[in-house]
Structure 1
Amino acid sequence: MSNGKRPFEDDEAQDDNVHPSRKRRLENGDSKAEYAKLFSPHFNGLGDPILEKRLEATRGLLKALSSKTDDQRERLTYVNTRLIKGVCSGAKASRLGFSLALTEVLRLAGTSTTKLPVINVIDHINALTTPESKDDKKREYLLGRVYSYQAVLQSGLLSHASENDLEKAFGAIAELACEKDWLRNECGVILHEFLKGNEAKADQIKPLIESWCSKGIVKSPEGVALWLAAKKQFPDVKLPKGHWHHSNPLHAQERTTLTNVLLKNAVVVGEEATPSNNNNNAKGKKKKNASGTRQATPSFAWSVILAHLYEKDEGKDLKPFWEDCVAKTMFSASSSAERKSLGLQIYSKAISSAPAELLGDIVHANIIRCIVDQRAKPDRYLFEAAKVPLNQMTARAKDDPWAAAEMVTKMLEVIPPHLDKQTRLTIDNLVSSADEDNLIQVVKVLNELILAPGVSDPGEADKKRRLLADALLTTVRSRRSDPNQLFNKDDTPAQWLKLLLHSLTDLGFVDVGEKASPAIAESSQNVFRERLQSALGHLVSLPLMQAVRGPLVVVGRLHSFRKSLVIELDEKSKTAIKDARKCIKEEEEKTDKQNSQVVSLAFQLLLALGTLQVYLQQPDSILVLEDITACCQSPEDSEDSSTMLVELLIKFVSQQSALFRKLAEQVFTAFAPEVTAEGLESMIDILSQKESLAGQQELFGEEEQDASAGGDAEDDDEEMGSGDVQDIEDASDIELGSDVELVNGNEGDSEEESSGSGSETAPAGDDELTEFERKLTEALGTEGMASDDDGSDMDDDEMAAVDEKLTHIFKEQKLGSNKKQQNKDAKENVVNLKNRILDLLLVFVKSQYANPIALDLLHPLVTLTRTTGSQPTARKVLDVLELFFDTAKKNKETPEVDDKEDLFRVLSAIHEDARLGGSKLHARACSRSSLFLAKILVHMDEGESYKRIFTMYGDLSWEWRTDPKSKLSSDLFSEWNNWYMQK
């Protein structure tokens, strides 16, 4: 017996005995390793987040597959397998890259000699996208299957497929759509893209639709979209019967079914349409399979349906569809927040896509009411969601003025009177975006809505009318920066503007009778009058030729309806209006003369505004109009008209009435370019007056002062009630005291005057009180007051004597108090007038910064910062100067003068004023004014002027360094040094 081992067979014999299946596996392993080495670099690039790199990897993969080899089919199978698995990746970039590559590889396979059967590709996809377990990334695998099916559709493989293969391919997609609601949407998207693309053929349409019919999902949002797309792209193809009335899902008889389908994301199955239930007993029965999940976003089917409705019969079916399927169902009072959220998204989609002429059907009362309600409070569930459609409306309006007009007219028709800030802003934006061609219709609609606001309650009607009046005002206000939208080329008002002014005038002043329902309340009439004045206020800020047009239109309208006004004018008012109208006609005849055109226009503006104030029955309005008329009719030469007008405006601002001041400021804004040196001197004279009783008498005259003293209380009350004419500078006066600081340890003259008067007031008051007590003691008798007697023993004569003494003492004390009050009131009156003049000068320097006469203001204004006893007034003076300098610098334009010696004299005067010392405001005024003049002089003659200026500053600097009593501020030199070092 042999104990040796069994002999080992050689390798060749061993290979001959290997089982064929194992041998094939070994060979496949070798080939897969070879394929992996060949294609892996391209697969890695398909998952890159950068698009260009994914495209480059796709091109490389196609190039590698393009070479003809004996194993071409095996290579395609291997690559398809890897690509399908890659599409199932959870990474978004990988899914996009692998699906793109799969599409192109399948397209290549369809054109090669080794064509891949469609059904084999579908089976391959199904096998590779089936998860191993229920929880094994099932969503990624299902999405991978969707993207793989999409690759098949886009690759063109179906173009040569048999009818049987088409049925199986579309059936597989329909079967996938039945698994989940979100999968139905994804499958619907890829099929809809297929129908719209170039790959779809007529013979493929019927199998596609029948696959959805056979699965019972044709009456779903996606099924409706596919049906409509198929009819549009292939109108000659006969679609299956028995599913939609007249084969039209949007037919009126299908509205209920369609609403259920879209609203609840449901699948409505008609049992008579299914092959298994084709019997008479089942006919007419329907079952509805509602979605079990909430729709967070609208299905793509909404876009398809809306687009179809826009195009069909010019959108005549859109309104009933929108009413039934959106406005009433999604925005009813009982609708859930989730349903309203979905509706708001659909509304935003429609706003962005609907033709402008159909937007009136989209903007529905229920939807707007929902938006307003949700925006009412920040804690509302859809507070932020309701902002999205408002922003969408604004965006659409900016790109499409016609759409803006359509939306705003409908929105104002249905909107409730109570609005939040965002909704009001949206309305303003819509009004601002409408173009001139559509504004006429907008104004007409707004006027009709004001007359019939659509509410029966008078209180609600008043609120709605106020909202509509605000919209009319916004129409003017939003265009004041572009006068071309307000006026024609010949400066006549645009047609829409004339209609708007007529509308506000009629609503505020004319008895419209039964045209208004409910009747326009007096409070609403006041609102329209206020909005009319505001609109005119925006118009008068324009160039004079345009500024005068609006008031003339209004006055002309009032004259036309003078017999049907809701106000009653007395004879004095009628006479004043008649005289003013006569003057307006005379001034209109003068406008053809160039030398007096501007002055004539200014008088027309004053007369028109003054006439309007009489119609408004404002206090002192008749006096205002009479003064304007008298000035207009003055026989002065035309050369003096400008100065005369300035003096008239000064007279207006000197009055206590806010009406006078407002008229003066409005007219001066337009008249500023025509102010002469004499007119400016009239204003400077007022600024140089003392702030005392003597200064008041110099300005107003003794008689006027007595009159104004008696009326101060009433006029002050009037000013307090007129919030729209209160000056901003006055409101902030109390905060400006900190700006006035000591310079070099010395107080400025203004502070010395203030502190001096203040320090004298207290001792003087104590002395007066002591003297009053002494006289009172003498009258009553000290001994008597100190004794035990209570004064009951005093006889009648003694009592009469004491009473006479007491009367005399109290009379003297009252006279002293009145004198003090008069001095205080006088100072306030002068300071207030100076502030009004400074307001006019702010207007002047803003537009006339390059006018040589503006230089006449420098020295008087610098002096005023030192001499005024009012810190806010000093601050306002500096504001005028800085606005002058900054505006000239911004526009790179300064006044041009012929004689530089005049400028040197002004510069020397300012330097002398700087030597007197003062507050920090005064030092700042001296420094900036001096440097401004220096720049102008250097620009005129850099050589000699620069040398003289340098010498002048050098003298000041030497004085500041050597004289211990010098009141000069170091700021004067620092700004100069900074400028000339940079020059």
Structure 2
Amino acid sequence: MSKKRCWEQPAVDTQLIEIYEDLANVDEKIRLKAAYALLTNFVSGEKATGVQLNEILRRLIRGLCSGRKAARLGFSIALTELLTELLGPNGKGVEGFHNISGLLETWKAQTHVSGNVSGQEERDHQFGRLFGAESIIKSEILFQRKVDIEAWNQVLDCIYELAIRKSWLREECGFILFTSVHILRDKDLTYSQLIIDKLYSNGLSKTTEGVAIWIAAQTESPSLKFPSGIWHRENPLDRKEQSRLAGIMNESPAAEPAWDGSGPKVPRKGAWSPNMHFAWDVILAKLLPVEPAAPKSTKSKRISFVAFWERCVDDNLFAASSSEERKFSGFVLFQRMITKAPVHIVPDLFTKNFMRCLKNQLASSERYLHRTAARAAKAIVARACTHPSLRSLILKALLSNPNGDVSFDKVTKTKTVEKILSQCHDSPFEQLGNLYDGLILRPGGREEKEAALRRLVLAEQLASVVRGLHLKPTLQDLGPSFPHRTIRDILSLFAKYAYFDAEIASNDQDSEPKIPISQASRQMFRSRISYCLSHLIAQPIEDPAFFPYSLICAIQDRETNPSLGPLLLEADKGVVEIVQRARETLGKVHSRAQDLGPGAQLDYFRSIILLYCLTILQVYNEDPEAVTMLAEINDLFQGKLHSKGSREQGAAALVEILLSFISKPSQLFRRLAQQVFTACAANLDVDSIQSMIKVLETKENLFGQAEMFDQDDEVDGMSDISDVEEVDVVDAESTSSSAGDGSEDSDANDTSESSNEDSSSPDDEVVAFDAKLAQALGTRPGNKDLSAEDSSSSDEDMDDEQMAALDEHLEKVFRERKKVTSRKKEREDAKEIIVNFKCRVLELLDIYVKQQHSNSLALSLLVPILAAIRTSTSPLVSSKACSLMREYAKLCKGDCTPKVGDADTVFELLKAVHTEAMKEGSNAYASACSQASLLLVRVLVAHDRECLRRVVRIYGETQEKALFDSSCRIKTSFFTDWQNWCTSARK
């Protein structure tokens, strides 16, 4: 009986298995490492036999047919290097390894599909064959002299067969042939000629791939023989081939060549692909000029880039009738071009249909291509940010007619223009200034209203540039830096259209008609100047008068040059003289400031420059009060700027001027007053302080407004005011007559006045109106008419005379109703004006207290501030006054306590504060009274410690009144704070 032989397990090279596994890894580094390991360990060594290498070759070709995501990439790299190592010009050759013919047989056999297989497996094998052909071509083993050209012919036949039989593989096949043309650049022309001949014989010359291969062959091997009759002058880029080329690039059925039955029929491509065809890059790279074309006497025979872009891209991909897929391809192509196109070509990319499609898709997030259009907009901003010279060109394309729109950001709901403008700080503004100058002059549209709206948008864009610039604080950095030059150019541009008739000076030859700048537009430009200056004054720069002074100089330079357009200001000789005097004084002040070093005096002179500049601007703005203010400033400062005594004498007049500024509802004037007031706070006198106190004592009603602004005519015209307002008049008169006595009755009258002013509530007015209306109609008011039994016949018709009388009566009732509503609105407006005025005065006093809290003159503010807290009907005024008192008391401690020469004056103030504390008020008011009292106590103790005994007696008298006088409304916290202070002082 024979013994059974044991089964032997075949030897398995686990290292090779790991290498094959890593060749299909999605990580590129792992794939390359595996390919290197395969070549160094199994191919380059002497141990590998021909049988082993053939097996590795078969396994690599088989791996090309794998359906794994990255298998073809890894195996094709390894195969290319293997063929180069073994069969290339410097290959070592191994006995038993396939030669070229054997290699091709193995390649075809391993990638051939036979039998009943699935569609996916068939596609995998076809891709494997294509990647195998690419590896063979890249290894360059077919282009050796010892290799018969028939091998190259076989590879080309396989590639063209795949391109014709499988339309979805045509682009990949065409790309392999396109790269082959570049590989064969220095090789025998026979190889390249064979590509062109088979391209023609297979009917692929007039396809997208054929165009790319044809152009590449003409570029790399110009001496090739190209088939005649395919293209005009054998050039697909000839000017006469524009229409056909556009159809081919967009795969239009009309552009496909008719099949004559002699050659293979080329099928149409299948599904649309989101990836751009490589032929676009080939054509655009060929057409893109490196430099702007010089003017020539004869036209070029080749199509220009602009013509190609308009014909093939704009008129096809972005046409109104194009599908969403074509428009998507157009956006992808635009994103690719905007990043690499030369500077002089970029404006040509913003064509008519593209701009229309871009605006439509960006306008709503519900649009199908909104995200793609948003990526295109981001690419535009990115190119503009990285290339300063392109910003004006891109903005011109986005904003100018006929393709652009000045309201591009508003229409598209993006910040494209704003983001580009925000980068203007690092480049000169000259080009952008010229662009906006032309857009303002010719904004587009046919109607004045439409032009005004577009000019408003342009002005807002320029104002956003000023708002977004970052300024350097030091003066020596102002001149040469781009941000400051940009601001000055923008302000000068605003002034050009705000104060001058610039249309007369414009002599450009633009075909678009100029629409005259309306008065409303000029007012808008003036308001933009005020807005920009208000923003600039608030910036932490060393010289806040720098930009206003530059603007005044620019206006003066333009005014002295009549060819630039006449000044629009119509002023008499007296006004002109006042302005001229102001300019002369301004020049002297500016010259004087240039010679001064840093310090309080320099800040004072800069504040005067700022005051002059903004007042002159108000004259140009045709403010009726500006001329009077400018004359007062001239009288105040002319010849009196060098001596401190002169400055102190003019402090009261200066404060009056500043109060007139802050009475206007302008943020610019508010900041101007604060700047000037800060510089001259040390020079204020009693009259100056009294001017501001007078504002705090003003009543918050129509009479207070008339008294403050000297509106005597309005006071005389109030005789027909309603009964409620007549009561207010009586209360106001009694209050003013008894105010000097400081009695409690006057305070009661003040309180009753403020409450009576609004006693006519809306409900009372409605009831009164219903009653008058019911009386006119002969009915009962409200629900009474519905529930009453009317014995008269309500169905009887009235005659014409009765109807006319009723109409007249109704008109009278409604006229009275309108008067009541109008008067109520006047009262509300008057209160708002006075409240705002008081708030701004309190802001100035806050500046004064922070600077001059150790000045005894500031003590005169205590009682008026307390009275403002108590009597004001506005919570805002009371809150600001309480904060001011709290800040003042906080600052006046220790060495910062004011020094006084006469203690009796301070004692009088202390008694007045205690009198205020006895009046009815809120808890915040009581706290402010306590803070003011303790502040005066600290002043007295610092003056003479013996004054404390008298202070104790005053507090005792106040406490006695609190116990026995029922009219005394003082809070307990007033004495608690005093006791706490005493405890601290004793320690």
TM-score range, shorter chain: 0.5 to 0.7
Indicate the RMSD between aligned Cα atoms, in angstroms.
Answer: 5.7
How far the C-alpha of 1:629 sits from its partner, in A, is: 3.0
Answer yes or no: is 1:547 the counterpart of 2:525: no
Could you tell me how far apart the structure 2 residues matched to 1:470 and 1:626 are? 34
Local SS of the residue matching 2:85 = helix
Query: Which residue of structure 2 aligns with residue 105 of structure 1?
Result: 82
Local SS of the residue matching 1:384 = helix
How far the C-alpha of 1:475 sits from its partner, in A, is: 4.1
Q: Which one of the candidate residues 196, 213, 220 is aligned to 2:200?
A: 213
Q: Is this contact kept in 2: 1:440–1:495, CA < 8 A?
A: no
Query: Which residue of structure 1 aligns with residue 356 of structure 2?
Result: 369
How far the C-alpha of 1:391 sits from its partner, in A, is: 1.0
Answer yes or no: is 1:629 the counterpart of 2:613: no
Answer yes or no: is 1:403 the counterpart of 2:394: no
Answer yes or no: is 1:833 the counterpart of 2:813: no
How far the C-alpha of 1:73 sits from its partner, in A, is: 3.0
Could you tell me how far apart the structure 1 residues matched to 2:623 and 2:854 are? 36
Query: Which residue of structure 2 aligns with residue 871 of structure 1?
Result: 875
Give the residue type in structure 2 aligned to 1:308: K
* Map 1:72-87 → 2, pairs under 5 A: 72-87=49-64
Q: Kindly tell me: are residues 763 and 880 of structure 1, through their superposed partners in 2, closer, same or farther at Cα, counting changes over 3 Å? A: closer
Q: Is this contact kept in 2: 1:363–1:410, CA < 8 A?
A: yes
Could you tell me how far apart the structure 1 residues matched to 2:269 and 2:289 are? 30
Deviations 1:935-976 (Å, cap 9, x if unpaired)?
A: xxxxxxxxxxxxxxxxxxxxxxxxxxxxx9668999xx9xxx
Answer yes or no: is 1:294 the counterpart of 2:272: yes
Q: Is this contact kept in 1: 2:681–2:852, CA < 8 A?
A: no
Local SS of the residue matching 1:512 = helix
Query: Which residue of structure 2 aligns with residue 574 of structure 1?
Result: 576
Deviates more, 1:856-865 or 1:530-539: 856-865
Give the residue type in structure 1 aligned to 2:321: S
Deviates more, 1:646-655 or 1:149-158: 646-655
How far the C-alpha of 1:356 sits from its partner, in A, is: 1.7
Could you tell me how far apart the structure 2 residues matched to 1:126 and 1:622 are? 98
Answer yes or no: is 1:489 the counterpart of 2:476: no
Deviations 1:741-763 (Å, cap 9, x if unpaired)?
A: xxxxxxxxxxxx99x95999599
How far the C-alpha of 1:123 sits from its partner, in A, is: 4.7
Local SS of the residue matching 2:276 = coil
Q: Which one of the candidate residues 403, 425, 438 is aligned to 2:415?
A: 425
Corresponding pairs, count: 794
Give the residue type in structure 1 aligned to 2:404: I
Q: Kindly tell me: are residues 271 and 626 of structure 1, through their superposed partners in 2, closer, same or farther at Cα, counting changes over 3 Å? A: same
How far the C-alpha of 1:359 sits from its partner, in A, is: 0.8
Query: Which residue of structure 2 aligns with residue 58 of structure 1?
Result: 35
Could you tell me how far apart the structure 2 residues matched to 1:484 and 1:140 are? 70
Q: Kindly tell me: are residues 701 and 277 of structure 1, through their superposed partners in 2, closer, same or farther at Cα, counting changes over 3 Å? A: closer
How far the C-alpha of 1:154 sits from its partner, in A, is: 3.5
Q: Is this contact kept in 2: 1:167–1:211, CA < 8 A?
A: no
How far the C-alpha of 1:594 sits from its partner, in A, is: 0.5
TM-score computed with the length of structure 1 as normaliser: 0.66
Query: Which residue of structure 1 aligns with residue 376 of structure 2?
Result: 389
Q: Is this contact kept in 1: 2:607–2:679, CA < 8 A?
A: no
How far the C-alpha of 1:683 sits from its partner, in A, is: 9.2
Q: Which one of the candidate residues 152, 165, 180 is aligned to 1:166?
A: 152
* Map 1:9-408 → 2, pairs under 5 A: 30=10, 34-35=12-13, 37-66=14-43, 68=45, 72-110=49-87, 111-114=91-94, 116-118=98-100, 120-130=102-112, 133-160=117-144, 162-192=148-178, 201=187, 203=189, 204-232=191-219, 234=220, 236-238=222-224, 240-242=226-228, 243-264=230-251, 276=262, 291-311=269-289, 314=292, 317-408=304-395
How far the C-alpha of 1:39 sits from its partner, in A, is: 0.6
Local SS of the residue matching 1:347 = helix
Q: Is this contact kept in 1: 2:162–2:169, CA < 8 A?
A: yes
Deviations 1:144-182 (Å, cap 9, x if unpaired)?
A: 444443333443434535433223323433332334454
Q: Kindly tell me: are residues 240 and 824 of structure 1, through their superposed partners in 2, closer, same or farther at Cα, counting changes over 3 Å? A: closer
Query: Which residue of structure 2 aligns with residue 979 of structure 1?
Result: none
Could you tell me how far apart the structure 1 residues matched to 2:852 and 2:110 are? 85
Q: Which one of the candidate residues 670, 688, 695 is aligned to 1:665?
A: 670
Answer yes or no: is 1:620 the counterpart of 2:600: no
* Map 1:442-461 → 2, pairs under 5 A: 442-453=432-443, 455-456=445-446, 458=448, 460-461=450-451
Could you tell me how far apart the structure 2 residues matched to 1:330 and 1:167 are? 38
Answer yes or no: is 1:510 the counterpart of 2:501: yes
How far the C-alpha of 1:253 sits from its partner, in A, is: 1.7
How far the C-alpha of 1:267 sits from its partner, in A, is: 9.8
How far the C-alpha of 1:412 sits from its partner, in A, is: 1.8
Q: Is this contact kept in 1: 2:426–2:482, CA < 8 A?
A: no
Query: Which residue of structure 2 aligns with residue 890 of structure 1?
Result: none
How far the C-alpha of 1:226 sits from its partner, in A, is: 3.4
Q: Kindly tell me: are residues 592 and 693 of structure 1, through their superposed partners in 2, closer, same or farther at Cα, counting changes over 3 Å? A: closer
Could you tell me how far apart the structure 2 residues matched to 1:456 and 1:466 are? 16
Q: Which one of the candidate residues 887, 891, 896 is aligned to 1:902?
A: 896
Which structure 1 segments of 5+ residues have no match?
1-7, 16-25, 279-286, 714-752, 770-819, 885-894, 931-963, 974-983
Q: Which one of the candidate residues 407, 429, 443 is aligned to 1:439?
A: 429
Deviates more, 1:67-76 or 1:339-348: 67-76
Could you tell me how far apart the structure 2 residues matched to 1:925 and 1:60 are? 91
Q: Kindly tell me: are residues 925 and 419 of structure 1, through their superposed partners in 2, closer, same or farther at Cα, counting changes over 3 Å? A: farther
Could you tell me how far apart the structure 1 residues matched to 2:106 and 2:501 are? 83
Query: Which residue of structure 2 aligns with residue 3 of structure 1?
Result: none
How far the C-alpha of 1:346 sits from its partner, in A, is: 1.5
Local SS of the residue matching 1:416 = coil
How far the C-alpha of 1:354 sits from its partner, in A, is: 0.6
How far the C-alpha of 1:345 sits from its partner, in A, is: 1.9
Local SS of the residue matching 2:205 = coil
Q: Is this contact kept in 2: 1:331–1:343, CA < 8 A?
A: yes
Give the residue type in structure 2 aligned to 1:635: K
Q: Which one of the candidate residues 416, 437, 440 is aligned to 2:405?
A: 416
Could you tell me how far apart the structure 2 residues matched to 1:464 and 1:385 are? 28
Deviates more, 1:301-310 or 1:628-637: 628-637
Deviates more, 1:375-384 or 1:394-403: 375-384
Could you tell me how far apart the structure 2 residues matched to 1:396 and 1:129 are? 47
How far the C-alpha of 1:41 sits from its partner, in A, is: 1.5
Query: Which residue of structure 2 aligns with residue 560 of structure 1?
Result: 560
Deviations 1:327-372 (Å, cap 9, x if unpaired)?
A: 2233333333332222222222211111122111112233212212
Deviations 1:197-251 (Å, cap 9, x if unpaired)?
A: 799756454444444333322333333333334444x255525243443443222
How far the C-alpha of 1:637 sits from its partner, in A, is: 4.5
Q: Percent identity?
A: 23
Which structure 2 segments of 5+ residues have no match?
295-303, 719-746, 765-823, 901-908, 935-970, 981-987
Local SS of the residue matching 1:618 = coil
Give the residue type in structure 1 aligned to 2:285: A
Q: Is this contact kept in 2: 1:374–1:383, CA < 8 A?
A: yes
Could you tell me how far apart the structure 1 residues matched to 2:386 and 2:461 are? 20
How far the C-alpha of 1:381 sits from its partner, in A, is: 3.4
Query: Which residue of structure 2 aligns with residue 519 of structure 1?
Result: 515
How far the C-alpha of 1:95 sits from its partner, in A, is: 4.0
Q: Kindly tell me: are residues 466 and 545 of structure 1, through their superposed partners in 2, closer, same or farther at Cα, counting changes over 3 Å? A: closer
How far the C-alpha of 1:689 sits from its partner, in A, is: 7.7
Give the residue type in structure 2 aligned to 1:374: Q
Q: Kindly tell me: are residues 53 and 454 of structure 1, through their superposed partners in 2, closer, same or farther at Cα, counting changes over 3 Å? A: same
Q: Kindly tell me: are residues 10 and 831 of structure 1, through their superposed partners in 2, closer, same or farther at Cα, counting changes over 3 Å? A: closer
Q: Is this contact kept in 2: 1:154–1:199, CA < 8 A?
A: no
How far the C-alpha of 1:631 sits from its partner, in A, is: 3.1
Q: Kindly tell me: are residues 425 and 701 of structure 1, through their superposed partners in 2, closer, same or farther at Cα, counting changes over 3 Å? A: closer
Q: Kindly tell me: are residues 519 and 761 of structure 1, through their superposed partners in 2, closer, same or farther at Cα, counting changes over 3 Å? A: closer
Local SS of the residue matching 2:77 = helix
TM-score computed with the length of structure 2 as normaliser: 0.66
Deviations 1:684-741 (Å, cap 9, x if unpaired)?
A: 88887895448999x999675665985999xxxxxxxxxxxxxxxxxxxxxxxxxxxx
Could you tell me how far apart the structure 1 residues matched to 2:161 and 2:862 are? 89
Could you tell me how far apart the structure 1 residues matched to 2:858 and 2:205 are? 84
